[in-house]
């Protein structure tokens, strides 16, 4: 993946600007589908500082598609909830949905540089299809009808590469976005937070911790997360009249950190690792596709850190885009399929921004009126625990793709529950032979057809579709989920009844799941015509029920 800087390709299928976790993950996903990419990263290595630290269950699943989940989960610190305090009184103890049979914890805390490393190693494991170039920067992008010409500045000079597709993953100050003359739209908040990583041993549980107007830092809001390597991540709000340049100087940061650590009884020796500053932004491009140039992660949208939607939404971009771009590049789908990437992920961003804005206005009130409302909510929560939901941080959850052009109406009226088209396919723990297997572990490569039955076995029409497990976005895997009996190559046993319940399944129910783990359509009884219509996106044709 790291080839000699003296040899540069003149033409590549996909050029990815930005080698952060989103760009690295996209490169690894494309490589799994046999698509080569050139990744351009300005830094000389992985990022410094914790940056994005909370990896959602959905992000862990996406990283699982490239084999990066195991090291991330082993290194990271899993958690399921958190506590909020008003001054010195607890006003909220929340827990995210979780149960023992889940494949992943709701959240894992881990520094961003580890996520980058694990995604990079996953890309390396795919062979030579992902070509990573450090200390190189995109300086110019000239779009063409058949792709784009990209100028790259590296230590050995300037190089021009023709790319069939360019994906901008180059962050909030995206050069690609600037080159195309595009601007993010939305709101930027004035409230600023200092971000500090410190090393200190602790025996506290791994939770999201928040203090509003704590005695240690009156008038401020403080967030704390434990991270691997005995690291605390501390975010605290500064006053509106404080100079941001002065605010990040160690002589101003360290006393505030010491005051808070002392207040909560963390008295072990500590030392700072990294200091930065942040202010919340709710910004997006109106479209993430501009001809042969696509945008993902912070290059296309900036959402507040509250609710941990930043990196998680970027990884969801990569998971949504990879299979579609692979199908188009392989000539198996018309490039109009990529329009659904933009419409789905812009919708997801707008939803993330709506929740993120509410969280931001509570965590860092933009004016006096919001401050009064927040204090009222916090005071009421100390007297009436039933009102603590007002303090809920609204953690990131997977988005439903409402009105996606890929959603099939199918036979929705026949279902009273379960996952509709456009929703993530639910998890279930199933028996596979003598072991157990999570259903989501079958997603992330090609399309998956789920057939529900009492006994193992597929109808003739579905048996003909059943194929061996071949990697690639156009592969179709057919799985029978039986209530009882013996598992085999195409059958999983639903001993716990989770799958039948969560899919509202009866005998003969069929679900079609996209390569990114989203439901595309469902039927009580699927005919050959249903299935032909369902697979039309592979040819770029409109879907039909």
Q: Cα–Cα distances in Å, from 50 out to 113, 114, 197, 440?
A: 7, 9, 7, 29
Q: Which residues, 6 or more positions from 477, have their beta carbon under 8 angstroms from its beta carbon?
A: 442, 445, 446, 447, 448, 449, 466, 467, 469
Q: What pLDDT is recorded for position 528?
A: 65
Q: At what angle do helices 112-124 and 57-65 cross, to 10 degrees?
A: 20
Give, as one character, the DSSP assignment of residue 488: B
User: How many Å apart are CA 152 and CA 132, to the nearest integer?
Assistant: 13
Q: What pLDDT is recorded for position 371?
A: 79
Q: What pLDDT is recorded for position 471?
A: 63
| Domain annotation covers residue 41 | yes
Give the H or E element holding residue 453.
Answer: strand 447-453
Question: Are 47 and 159 part of one and the same domain?
Answer: yes
For residue 442, how far is the Cα from the chain centroid?
19
| Domain annotation covers residue 239 | no
The domain boundary, picked from 337, 363, 389, lies at 363
Q: What pLDDT is recorded for position 170?
A: 97
| Domain annotation covers residue 68 | yes
Q: CATH number of the domain at 463, please.
A: 3.40.30.120
| Domain annotation covers residue 217 | no
Are 300 and 274 contacting, i.e. CB atoms less than 8 angstroms apart?
Answer: no
Question: Are 301 and 424 part of one and the same domain?
Answer: no
Q: What pLDDT is recorded for position 156?
A: 92
| Domain annotation covers residue 349 | yes
Question: For 494-513, how does the pLDDT look when each residue is reduced to its tens digit (9 = 90+)?
Answer: 999 999 999 999 999 999 99
Question: Are 460 and 532 part of one and the same domain?
Answer: yes
| Domain annotation covers residue 510 | yes
Question: Are 141 and 31 part of one and the same domain?
Answer: yes
Question: Are 438 and 359 part of one and the same domain?
Answer: no
Question: Are 137 and 18 part of one and the same domain?
Answer: yes
Q: CATH number of the domain at 327, please.
A: 3.50.50.60
DSSP codes of every residue in 126-165: T-SSEEEESS-EEEEEEEETTEEEEEEEETTEEEEEEEEE
The domain boundary, picked from 340, 363, 386, lies at 363
The domain boundary, picked from 328, 347, 363, lies at 363
**Coil, helix or strand for 26?**
helix
Question: Are 15 and 111 part of one and the same domain?
Answer: yes
Q: What pLDDT is recorded for position 117?
A: 96
Structure tokens at 225: 């997360």
Q: List residues bridging with 90 in a β-sheet.
A: 85
Q: What pLDDT is recorded for position 533?
A: 67
Are 195 and 275 contacting, i.e. CB atoms less than 8 angstroms apart?
Answer: yes
Question: Are 430 and 310 part of one and the same domain?
Answer: no
Q: How many CB atoms lie within 10 A of CB 160?
A: 12
| Domain annotation covers residue 492 | yes
Q: Describe the chain by its helix, strand, coil percentages, rounded to 5.
A: 30, 30, 40
**Coil, helix or strand for 289?**
strand
Question: Are 334 and 471 part of one and the same domain?
Answer: no
| Domain annotation covers residue 500 | yes
Total number of domains constituting the chain: 2
Question: Are 153 and 289 part of one and the same domain?
Answer: yes
Q: What pLDDT is recorded for position 464?
A: 74
Question: Are 338 and 482 part of one and the same domain?
Answer: no
Which residue ranges in the chain fall short of pLDDT 50? 1, 3-4, 539-545
**pTM score of the predicted model:** 0.93
Question: Are 43 and 138 part of one and the same domain?
Answer: yes
Vertex 483 angle, CA 481 and 489, to 5°: 40
Domain that holds residue 38: 11-75+105-182+282-363
């Amino acid at each position: 993946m790291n080839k000699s800087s003296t040899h540069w390709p003149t033409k590549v299928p996909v050029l990815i600007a930005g080698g952060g976790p989103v760009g690295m993950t996209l490169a690894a996903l494309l490589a799994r589908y046999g698509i080569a990419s050139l990744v351009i990263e300005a830094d000389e290595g992985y990022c410094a500082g914790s940056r994005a630290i909370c990896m959602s269950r959905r992000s862990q699943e996406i990283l699982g598609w490239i084999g990066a989940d195991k090291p991330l989960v082993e290194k990271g610190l899993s958690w399921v909830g958190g506590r909020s305090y008003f001054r010195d009184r607890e006003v909220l103890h929340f827990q995210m949905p979780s149960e023992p049979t889940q494949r992943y914890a709701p959240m894992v805390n881990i520094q961003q540089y580890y996520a980058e490393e694990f995604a990079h190693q996953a890309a390396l494991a795919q062979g030579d299809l992902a070509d990573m170039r450090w200390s190189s920067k995109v300086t110019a992008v000239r779009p063409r009808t058949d792709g784009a010409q990209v100028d790259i500045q590296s230590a050995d000079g300037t190089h021009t590469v023709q790319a069939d597709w360019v994906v901008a993953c180059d962050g909030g100050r995206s050069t690609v976005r600037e080159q195309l003359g595009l601007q993010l739209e939305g709101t930027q908040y004035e409230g600023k937070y200092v971000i500090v990583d410190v090393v200190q041993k602790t025996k506290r549980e791994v939770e999201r911790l928040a203090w509003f107007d704590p005695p240690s830092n009156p008038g401020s809001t403080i967030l704390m997360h434990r991270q691997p390597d005995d690291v605390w991540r501390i975010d605290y709000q500064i006053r509106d009249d404080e100079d941001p340049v002065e605010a990040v100087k160690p002589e101003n940061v360290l006393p505030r950190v010491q005051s808070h650590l002392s207040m909560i009884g963390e008295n072990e020796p500590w030392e700072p690792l990294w200091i930065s500053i942040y202010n919340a932004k709710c910004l997006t491009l109106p479209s993430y596709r501009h001809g042969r140039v696509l945008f993902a992660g912070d290059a296309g949208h900036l959402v507040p850190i509250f609710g941990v939607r930043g990196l998680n939404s970027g990884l969801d971009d990569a998971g949504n885009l990879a299979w579609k771009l692979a199908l188009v590049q392989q000539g198996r789908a018309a490039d109009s399929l990529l329009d659904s990437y933009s419409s789905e992920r812009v919708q997801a961003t707008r939803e993330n921004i709506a929740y993120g804005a509410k969280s931001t206005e509570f965590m860092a009130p933009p004016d006096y009126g919001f401050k009064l409302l927040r204090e009222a909510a916090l005071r009421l929560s100390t007297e009436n625990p039933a009102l603590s939901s007002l303090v809920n941080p609204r953690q990131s959850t997977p988005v439903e793709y409402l009105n996606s052009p890929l959603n099939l109406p199918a036979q929705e009226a026949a279902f009273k529950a379960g996952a509709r088209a456009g929703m993530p396919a639910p998890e279930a723990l199933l028996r596979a032979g003598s072991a157990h297997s999570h259903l989501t572990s079958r997603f992330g490569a090609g399309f998956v057809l789920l057939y529900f039955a009492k006994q193992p076995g597929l109808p003739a029409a579905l048996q003909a579709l059943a194929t061996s497990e071949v990697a690639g976005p156009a592969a179709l895997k057919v799985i029978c989920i039986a209530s009882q009996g013996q598992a085999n190559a195409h059958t999983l046993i639903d001993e716990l009844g989770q799958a039948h319940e969560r899919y509202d399944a009866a005998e003969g129910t069929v679900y079609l799941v996209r390569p990114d783990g989203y439901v595309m359509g469902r039927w009580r009884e699927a005919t050959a015509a249903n299935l032909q219509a369902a697979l039309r996106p592979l040819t770029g044709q409109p879907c039909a029920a």
